[in-house]
């Protein structure tokens, strides 16, 4: 049975790899964190007495996270386990 399943998986794609599944879950978590950061940025921008450097760093963090999420979604879409591992390491920090 193992050989037949391996051949079917090789020919027809089979199941998604574990790394890709974990990355998909990590992407969802990061998206929610990113939305919270965007809310924080808008709240800080609306206040008059705010450290501008703090707002700038938060904005930068939001934009870089968005870019990483888009690239990670591509890795999930193409079922690329190497790229999935790369982004899992980035998202785990």
Domain spans, the chain? 16-91
Mean pLDDT of 59-68: 91
**Is residue 25 scored above 60 in pLDDT?**
yes
Residue 41 has pLDDT above 80, yes or no: yes
Kindly report the CA angle at 20 between 37 and 11, in degrees rounded to 5?
155
pLDDT of residue 21: 79
Residue 51 has pLDDT above 70, yes or no: yes
Give this prediction's pTM: 0.68
Long-range contacts of 71-77 (CB under 8 A, 24+ apart): 72/23, 72/26, 72/27, 73/27, 75/20, 75/23, 76/20, 76/23, 76/24, 76/27
Residue 14 has pLDDT above 60, yes or no: no
- Calculate what percentage of the chain has a pLDDT beyond 90: 14
């Amino acid at each position: 049975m193992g050989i037949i399943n391996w051949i079917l998986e090789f020919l027809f794609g089979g199941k998604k790899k574990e790394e890709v599944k974990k990355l998909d879950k990590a992407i969802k978590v990061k998206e929610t964190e990113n939305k919270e950061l965007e809310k924080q940025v808008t709240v800080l921008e609306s206040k008059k007495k705010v450290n501008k450097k703090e707002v700038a760093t938060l904005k930068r963090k939001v934009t870089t996270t968005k870019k990483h999420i888009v690239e990670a979604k591509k890795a999930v879409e193409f079922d690329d386990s190497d790229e999935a591992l790369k982004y899992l390491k980035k998202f785990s920090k």
